[in-house]
Amino acid sequence: MKESFFKDVYEVVKLVPHGRVTSYGAIANYLGAKSSARMVGWAMNSSHNIPDVPAHRVVNRNGMLTGKHHFETPDRMEELLNREGVLVKSDKVQNFKEIFWDPSLELI
């Protein structure tokens, strides 16, 4: 079950548009597993060898880069977001509410 859940997570993350971010909880909710935000986090931590999964676009519910330590360097997640025009300050997405992508609303 874990493998299929991880694959489902990756399919959703692949749909997050350039320059937008989503959260672990929003993905879990979309997949019908509302209380599985932590499991989405584990999936993201395991995704770094999958080239087409933009894990840098997944942050916590407050816009914090909580997964940054799972990238090649601690600054890599912020660098990737900055390249897409996402402003990050003190490990937090600055205009989080404006650029937040909710799959439950966007993928109807």
Is residue 108 in some structural domain? no
Distance CA(50)–CA(55), nearest Å, equals 9
The backbone torsions φ and ψ at residue 60, rounded to the nearest 5 degrees and listed phi first, read -80, 180
Is residue 9 in some structural domain? yes
pLDDT computed for residue 105 by the predictor: 95
Q: Is the pLDDT of residue 68 over 70?
A: yes
Q: Letter for the amino acid at 28?
A: A
Distance CA(42)–CA(25), nearest Å, equals 12
Is residue 78 in some structural domain? yes
Reported as a pLDDT band with limits 50, 70 and 90, residue 1 is: low
Q: What is the number of domains present in the chain?
A: 1
**pLDDT digit string, tens, across residues 71-101:** 999 999 999 999 999 999 999 999 999 999 9
Is residue 60 in some structural domain? yes
Reported as a pLDDT band with limits 50, 70 and 90, residue 51 is: confident
Q: Distances in Å between the alpha carbon of 72 and those of 9, 42, 103? A: 21, 16, 27
**What is the share, in percent, of the chain residues with pLDDT greater than 70?**
99
pLDDT computed for residue 63 by the predictor: 97
The boundaries of the domain holding residue 88 are: 2-103
Is residue 96 in some structural domain? yes
CATH number, domain containing residue 95 = 1.10.10.10
